[in-house]
């Protein structure tokens, strides 16, 4: 439930839940998120990049749109991660994003970006949204919405309703992955009423399934 | 609220009209006159502080003086006095009430509305309104509306319940419905929904055997989650066609001051309508146009539409209309094609749309209908009957009515035109054959029917038994 001021009835402004908390909550509902941890030094970043390619992101309340503010570096390996860490750190200081942390996350397989979101309606409670991700969601407004909880029929029809359905889920396997993910998100927001808004943006649909590379929860 | 209590509003055996008056300018006068005019067979008790008699009947100073059982009180006095009158009703054991007066939450007088709710709770008395027109029941001849009968055409008796939050939309649609060949079961204008709200009304109509479909104009719901629970079950047995006012931000503000409805985003309403099988009408035109096909036609097994026409150009437009609404043309079976070639003049090209030519008469229509109503490849039928052509006359209308009553396939007629066409359109509509002015209006309605049919097919295992709709 949105927290309300008992006297004025006004809603308090929403707060961003700290990333690691959001990610571990999502993981508890079986939502697949790439391995990630906060890194505190150049060496830390290099160590984390020793197995797979990674991304580094500045996490700050003041940097809600990471790709827009340029405080993200992607496709880093052991040789480039350290340098990228230092430059991100400098950028974030210069942009006055303090306090901030730098999150290292394994890169997901390449694939199609989709968005799954949830928010809270005053009348009907939790709503869930599905759309093609990236810049397209805003341009084409090709999204489908349902009230939670949703069942398999609802999830299927959300997908069927989209013009981009064959891009999002070109085959049975990816269709199943989207449907199952939608149901997990619905279950999660219904069980945790204090979640006002949730954004999995983007979720990358790829050969091995999907990866929710960013989780934002507003409380 | 127990929905069964709402029955009292529609089938009272005795009615007290508070504010009944000899003065024809008073709302209470019009309401009482209506009760007399429509032939209400129960007791009528006019309540008026100053009159001995009203419209030839003994008047009482207070409802408490009646001294007999009163099933329904219609409160036709201004808001301030209405609360006192309701309190008197409660004391007198009146079983239900309709408050037509405005001047409550919709103008910021939440205090008065709260008092009204309190009285209802105190005496367990269901109250409809305030700020509403009340109800009309076509069978029990109850009419609490304060609109003079001569100003408003009243529809015939049938299976459509029309529910409107707004009285203005309610009365205009009611007037229009009577020209659309609709048969009405009940009309309900419920205004601010202080006690009886949309959820209660839907629960009631779900159990009302006289009602086969519901047309609904609303500006907002009071109890979102309960609304979902109710419509989920409702739409499995009867369709609800719904138009919602206030879908833009500005419209929503206007609605709030109008019937004091809580907002809730337009996106959320659309999601709910789609998710639980409500047929979403974009406006009042849609409401009427969809209502017509749902009242008379059963579910459609699929999206393949056979078009037969006595005008080539209209057939082309109809084909476009099908495809732009997500419908497709039926691909007639080999047998049908063969049979058609035998009965149609050689000049007729046997394919879809079947253009029978401007000289097609009732016999040619009959020959085509005979074959197409039996073709398994056609799920629905659209007949374009242009009455301007030399061959088309009343016999064509009679032929279409005949075939309509002999097929299970959803069937509509497209017949644009002036007086001559209109006469025939009324003939067909009053025989239960939906008629549209344009192919696109017909196609939109068919698409709405198809969406609902698909919804029922896909969800009957989830939300209910998927009862077969009665026709």
> pLDDT of B183-234, one tens digit each?
899 999 999 999 999 999 999 999 999 999 999 999 889 899 999 999 999 9
B262 to A122: CB separation less than 8 angstroms, yes or no: yes
Q: A73-82, B119-128, B162-171, B378-387: lowest mean pLDDT where?
A: B162-171
Which residues of A fall within a CB distance of 8 Å from B459?
Answer: 153
Q: Do both A115 and A207 map to the same domain?
A: yes
Which residues of B fall within a CB distance of 8 Å from A157?
Answer: 274-275, 458
Name the domain count of chain A. 2
pLDDT in tens, A128-182: 999 998 777 777 778 999 999 999 999 999 999 999 999 999 999 999 999 999 9
Task: Please check whether residue A149 touches B, CB under 8 A.
Answer: no
Could you tell me the CATH number of the domain that includes residue A143? Answer: 3.30.470.20
Average pLDDT over residues B10-21: 95
Could you tell me the CATH number of the domain that includes residue A78? Answer: 3.30.1490.20
Contact criterion met (CB below 8 Å) for B440 and B314: no
**Where do the structural domains in chain B lie, given as residue ranges?**
1-133, 152-296, 298-454
Domains B1-133 and B152-296 are alike in CATH topology = yes
What is the C-alpha separation between B366 and B370, in angstroms, rounded?
6
Q: What is the pLDDT of residue A2?
A: 42
Buried b (16+ CB within 10 A) or exposed e, A165-201: beebbeeeebbebbbbbbbbbbbbbbeeeebbbbbbb
Confidence at B180, pLDDT banded by 50, 70, 90? confident
- CATH number for the segment(s) B152-296: 3.40.50.261
For residue A3, pLDDT over 50 is answered with: no
Which residues of A fall within a CB distance of 8 Å from B224?
Answer: 121, 123-125
In the numeric block, which tokens belong to residue B24?
A: 């024809």
Q: What is the pLDDT of residue B152?
A: 65
Q: Do both A40 and A137 map to the same domain?
A: no
Task: Please check whether residue B430 touches A, CB under 8 A.
Answer: no
Q: So what's the ipTM on this one?
A: 0.86
Contact criterion met (CB below 8 Å) for A128 and A190: no
Task: State which of A91, A106, A121 marks the end of a domain.
Answer: A106
B275 to A147: CB separation less than 8 angstroms, yes or no: yes
Task: Please check whether residue B417 touches A, CB under 8 A.
Answer: no
- List the beta bridge partners of residue A134: none
For residue A88, pLDDT over 60 is answered with: yes
Which residues of A fall within a CB distance of 8 Å from B228?
Answer: 124, 147
Kindly report the nearest CA distance between residue B214 and chain A, in angstroms: 22
Specify the higher pLDDT residue, B462 or B341: B341
Q: Do both A73 and A52 map to the same domain?
A: yes
Q: Do both A114 and A206 map to the same domain?
A: yes
- Residue A1 located in a structural domain: no
The DSSP code sequence of B62-129 is SGGGS-S--SEEEE-S-HHHHHHHHHHHHHTT---EEE----SGGGT-HHHHHHHHHHHHHHT--EE-
Which residues of A fall within a CB distance of 8 Å from B275?
Answer: 146-147, 150, 154, 157
Buried b (16+ CB within 10 A) or exposed e, B208-225: bebbbbbbbbbbbbbbbe
Please name the member of A124, A145, A161 whose beta carbon is closest to the beta carbon of B264. Answer: A124
Average pLDDT over residues B437-451: 98
Question: Which residues 69-88 of A have a C-beta within 8 angstroms of B?
Answer: none
What is the C-alpha separation between B10 and B188, in angstroms, rounded?
10
What is the Cβ-side half-sphere exposure of residue A219, based on CA atoms within 13 angstroms? 10
What is the C-alpha separation between A124 and B276, in angstroms, rounded?
13
Full domain range(s) for residue A53 = 36-106
Specify the higher pLDDT residue, B157 or B238: B238
Q: Chain B residue closest to A118 (CA)?
A: B268
- CATH number for the segment(s) B298-454: 3.40.50.261
Residue (of B430, B429, B388) closest to B412 by Cα position: B429
DSSP for residue A206: E
**What's this model's pTM, rounded to 2 decimal places?**
0.90
Most confident range (mean pLDDT) of A184-198, B20-34, B178-192 is A184-198
Question: Which residues 151-170 of A have a C-beta within 8 angstroms of B?
Answer: 151, 153-154, 157, 161
């Amino acid at each position: 439930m949105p927290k309300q001021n008992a006297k004025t009835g006004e809603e308090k402004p929403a707060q961003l839940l700290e990333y690691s908390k959001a990610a571990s909550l999502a993981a508890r509902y079986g939502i697949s998120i790439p391995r990630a941890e906060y890194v505190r030094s150049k060496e830390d970043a290099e160590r984390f990049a020793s197995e797979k390619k990674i991304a580094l992101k500045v996490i700050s309340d003041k940097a809600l749109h990471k790709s827009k503010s340029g405080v993200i570096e992607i496709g880093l390996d052991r040789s480039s991660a350290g340098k990228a860490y230092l430059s991100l750190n400098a950028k974030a200081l210069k942009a006055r994003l303090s306090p901030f942390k730098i999150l290292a996350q394994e890169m997901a397989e390449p694939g199609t970006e989709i968005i799954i979101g949830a928010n809270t309606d005053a009348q009907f409670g939790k709503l869930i949204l599905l759309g093609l991700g990236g810049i397209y969601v805003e341009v084409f407004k090709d999204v489908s919405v349902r009230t939670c909880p949703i069942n398999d029929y609802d999830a299927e029809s959300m997908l069927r309703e989209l013009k981009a359905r064959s891009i999002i889920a070109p085959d049975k396997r990816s269709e199943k992955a989207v449907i199952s993910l939608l149901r997990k998100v619905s279950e999660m927001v219904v069980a945790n009423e204090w979640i006002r808004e949730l954004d999995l943006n983007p979720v990358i649909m790829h050969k091995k399934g999907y990866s929710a590379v960013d989780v934002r929860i507003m409380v | 609220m127990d929905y069964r209590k709402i029955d009292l509003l529609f089938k009272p055996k005795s009615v007290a009209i508070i504010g009944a008056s000899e003065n024809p300018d008073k709302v209470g006068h019009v309401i009482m006159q209506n009760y007399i005019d429509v032939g209400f067979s129960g007791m009528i008790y006019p309540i008026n502080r100053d009159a001995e008699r009203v419209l030839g009947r003994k008047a009482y100073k207070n409802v408490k003086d009646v001294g007999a059982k009163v099933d329904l009180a219609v409160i036709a006095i201004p808001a301030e006095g209405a609360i006192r009158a309701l309190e008197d009703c409660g004391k007198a054991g009146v079983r239900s009430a309709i408050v037509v007066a405005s001047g409550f939450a919709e103008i910021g007088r939440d205090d008065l509305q709260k008092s009204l709710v309190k009285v209802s709770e105190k005496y367990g008395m269901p109250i409809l309104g305030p700020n509403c027109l009340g109800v009309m029941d076509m069978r029990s001849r109850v009419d609490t509306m304060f609109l003079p009968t001569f100003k408003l055409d009243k529809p015939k008796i049938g299976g459509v319940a029309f529910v409107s939050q707004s009285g203005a939309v309610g009365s205009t649609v009611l007037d229009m419905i009577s020209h659309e060949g609709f048969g009405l079961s009940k009309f309900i204008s419920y205004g601010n929904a202080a006690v009886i709200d949309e959820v209660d009304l839907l629960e009631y109509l779900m159990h009302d055997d006289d009602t086969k479909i519901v047309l609904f104009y609303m500006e907002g719901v009071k109890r979102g989650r309960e609304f979902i629970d109710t419509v989920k079950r409702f739409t499995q047995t009867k369709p609800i066609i719904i138009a919602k006012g206030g879908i833009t931000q500005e419209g929503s503000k206007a609605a709030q001051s109008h019937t004091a409805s809580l907002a809730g985003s337009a996106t959320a309403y659309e999601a709910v309508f789609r998710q639980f099988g409500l047929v979403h009408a974009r406006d009042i035109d849609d409401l009427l146009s969809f209502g017509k096909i749902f009242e008379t036609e059963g579910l459609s097994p699929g999206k393949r539409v056979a078009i037969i026409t006595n005008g080539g150009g209209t057939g082309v437009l109809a084909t476009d209309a099908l495809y732009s609404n997500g419908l497709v043309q039926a691909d007639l079976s080999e047998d049908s094609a063969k049979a058609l070639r035998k009965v149609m003049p050689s000049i007729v090209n046997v394919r879809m749309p079947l253009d029978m030519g401007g000289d097609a008469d009732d016999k040619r229509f009959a020959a085509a209908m005979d074959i197409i109503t039996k073709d398994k490849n056609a799920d629905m039928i659209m007949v374009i009957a242009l009455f301007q052509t030399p061959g088309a006359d009343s016999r064509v209308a009679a032929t279409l009515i005949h075939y309509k009553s002999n097929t299970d396939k959803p069937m509509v007629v497209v017949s644009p035109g002036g007086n001559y066409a209109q006469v025939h359109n009324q003939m067909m509509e009053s025989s239960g054959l939906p008629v549209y002015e344009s192919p696109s209006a017909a196609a939109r309605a068919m698409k709405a029917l198809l969406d609902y049919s698909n919804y029922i097919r896909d969800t009957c295992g989830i939300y209910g038994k998927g009862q077969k709709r009665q026709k």
